[in-house]
Amino acid sequence: MRGWYTLAALLIPTALSAQIMPPEDWSHLQDLHLSIVPRTAEEAARIAAVTAPPTDFSAPRAFEENGGGAATVRARAMADAFSLPSANLSFEEELQFRVGNGLFRRVWVSAPASTLASDGLGPLFNARSCQRCHLKDGRGHPPEGPDDSAVSMFLRVSIPVTEAETPDLEALETYIAGTHHTAPDPVYGAQLQDFSLPGHAPEYRLSVRYEPLELRLSGGEVASLRQPVYEAADLGYGPLAEGAMLSPRVAPQMIGLGLLEAIPTADILAYADPEDADGDGISGRPNVVWSAEFGAPMLGRFGLKAGEATVRAQSAAAFAGDMGMSTPLHPEGWGECTAAQTLCREQVDGGDPEHGGLEIDQTGLDLVAFYSRNLAVPARRNVDDPQVLHGREVFYQTGCAACHRANYVTHRLQDGGAQSFQLIWPYSDLLLHDMGEGLADHRPEGRATGREWRTPPLWGIGLTQTVSGHSYFLHDGRARSLLEAVLWHGGEAESQRDAVITMAPEDRAALIAFLESL
C-alpha cells in the first residue's frame, strides 16, 4: 500500500500561499527526531496548492476522506476502531506494532516479582497499564459518580517560583525564552497519583462536582453546560504547598501521533501569530520545550499544552508519571516520588541489570513509541452528505479553521515509513491559544499560560462514542457533546462561539454533522 498515491498526481504547481511571518526567530528549531529529504521548490508549490483553504463546498476535496493519507484504515463501527495499525506498514513493521501493543496493554506489577518482565510498578501510580488510561486507544473520562475511579484522569500540580528563587537563567542551557517558571510541589511532585502499592498511601482522591449553566441559543434552543469544580481530597502526605496550582487532565485519543510528529516544524510555525499581526483575533503561539532526548530546544507538539516534542518523550513521561516506571529518559526507579516521600524512594524497584538497571529499556520504549506512532486514523464517513458539506462550509465561514487547520503534507523521510510524504487532515495547528477564563486552569506549563491550550486534532472525533462509550470532550471531559465543547470556547475563539450561538439552527446542526464525520 505504500506509495498508494503521490503528491505529483494532485494539482498543478502554483505560487506559495501568503503566510504569517513570525516576529520571533525560531530558526534554531529543527526536526531533530527525523531523517529528512529536503523539499524541492516544485514540491513546495504543489504542497501549497493542495493545503490551501477550499473555495468550493459543493463536493468533498481530493483525498479528504483519507485523514491519515496512505496510513488511513477503513472506519469500523466497533470499539477497536482506534486500535488498528497504519494501513501502509510492511509485514515486519506490523509485527513490531503488535509487540509494542503487547507492552502498551501489559498490566505491570510491583517488584520484586517472579515475572521479571512485568515488575516495577509504582510505588505511586495512576494506572497499571498504558491501556487503562487510553481505553481502547481512545479518550479517558472524568469520574461519573462517587463510586467511579479517575483511572483515566488525574491532576497536575505545580507552585509558582518567586523572583528570588529563580535561578540564573542565562547560565542554564535548558533556558527557553518566555518560559513561565514554576516548580513541582515539594511533597507531591508534578502529578498527583491516586493509587499506590501496599504499605504506601495514595497521594489523593480526585473529587469533582458540577455547577449547571444554561445557555440560550437561536431558534429557542437551550444548552445545559456544567462547570466543574475540582478538589484534591484525602491527601495522603499532608497539605499541598501554598499557592499550589491544579490542572485536570483526561487521557486523549492516540490515533495519528506519528503523522503529527512528521509535520515539518516550519509548516506549523508559519501559522504562528503571537501578536495577531493579521488582525483576525487569533494569536497562535508555539510551545518551545527543552528536549532531554536531543539536548536542544524543540517545538512542543504532544500533551494538552504541547509540553512534549516527540512521541518517545511523551511515552517516557507517561511511564514515569502515570505508572512509576523507569526508562532511559526518566531513569529513576521510584517514578514521581519526591525526596520528601522517603519510604516511596526506598521501595525495591524492578530495574533489570541486563537492561541497564531500567524497568523499560530503550528497546521497550522504542516499541511502545512505534505502536503509538502507528495507530491508524480511520477514514471519514459521509463526506459527500449534503448536510456534512454544508457543515464544512459553516466551519470555514465561522472561522473555526483559523485554529483547526485542516491539512498538511508530512516530511519526506529518508527511510520511507508509514509517515513519509503523506497528505493528512488532522484539523489542528498544534499551537497554543488563549481559550478564555471558562476553560482556564490558571497553571502555566512551559511557555503556555494558564489560559492557553494546544489546539486538539479533530480527526476521529466522531467515533468517540463508538470507541470510548461516552461523548465527553475538552481537556477535563466537562463537555458531554460536541456542541457543548464548542460552546465552552472563549478567548480567541469567543467570536466563533458567539456565531454558533446566534446562527440558524439548521446551520448549527450542519456544523455538528460535519464534526461527527471527522
pLDDT at 115: 75
Domain of 166?
A: 92-253+301-373
Instruction: Please name the amino acid found at residue 477.
Output: G
Last-in-domain residue among 316, 346, 373: 373
Q: Which of 240-244, 347-351, 449-453 has the lowest mean pLDDT?
A: 347-351
Do 305 and 273 have their domain in common?
no
- 292 in a domain, yes or no? no
Q: What would the mean pLDDT of 430-455 be, rounded to a whole number?
A: 96
- 423 in a domain, yes or no? yes
pLDDT at 424: 98
- 23 in a domain, yes or no? no
Do 75 and 135 have their domain in common?
no
Q: What's the CA gap between 250 and 141, in Å, rounded?
A: 6
Do 494 and 475 have their domain in common?
yes
Which pLDDT tens digit goes with each residue over 36-95? 999 999 999 999 999 999 999 999 999 999 999 999 999 999 999 999 999 999 999 999
pLDDT at 356: 82
The secondary structure of 385-450 as a DSSP string is -HHHHHHHHHHHHHTGGGTS---EEPPEETT--TTTT-EE-------EEE--GGG-----BTTB-T
Domain total for the chain? 2
Do 78 and 97 have their domain in common?
no
**Residue 220 falls in which region: left (phi positive, over 0), alpha (psi -120 to 50) or beta:** left
- 25 in a domain, yes or no? no
Do 314 and 209 have their domain in common?
yes
Which pLDDT tens digit goes with each residue over 494-517? 999 999 999 999 999 999 999 999
Last-in-domain residue among 349, 373, 397: 373
Q: What would the mean pLDDT of 146-152 be, rounded to a whole number?
A: 80
Do 380 and 369 have their domain in common?
no
Q: What would the mean pLDDT of 305-334 be, rounded to a whole number?
A: 96
Do 361 and 340 have their domain in common?
yes
Q: What's the CA gap between 208 and 341, in Å, rounded?
A: 26
Q: Which of 102-111, 166-175, 196-205 has the lowest mean pLDDT?
A: 166-175
- 8 in a domain, yes or no? no
Do 325 and 243 have their domain in common?
yes
Which pLDDT tens digit goes with each residue over 222-277? 999 999 999 999 999 999 999 999 999 999 999 999 999 999 999 999 999 999 99
pLDDT at 165: 59
Closest-CA residue to 270 (of 61, 36, 24, 13): 24
Q: What would the mean pLDDT of 149-175 be, rounded to a whole number?
A: 72
pLDDT at 182: 87
Residue 7 pLDDT > 60, yes or no?
Answer: no
Q: Write out the three cell numbers for 44.
A: 513546495
With cut-offs at 50, 70 and 90, classify the pLDDT of residue 148. confident
Task: Pick the more confident residue, 21 or 71.
Answer: 71
pLDDT at 167: 56
Do 351 and 394 have their domain in common?
no
pLDDT at 28: 75
Residue 217 pLDDT > 90, yes or no?
Answer: yes
Average pLDDT of the chain is: 91
- 1 in a domain, yes or no? no
Do 229 and 280 have their domain in common?
no
Do 433 and 464 have their domain in common?
yes
Last-in-domain residue among 339, 373, 407: 373
Residue located via cell numbers 449534503: 386
Do 46 and 168 have their domain in common?
no
First and final C-alpha spacing in the chain: 23
Residue 287 pLDDT > 50, yes or no?
Answer: yes
- 223 in a domain, yes or no? yes
- 11 in a domain, yes or no? no
pLDDT at 174: 52
Half-sphere exposure of 278 (CA within 13 A, CB side): 14
With cut-offs at 50, 70 and 90, classify the pLDDT of residue 154. very high
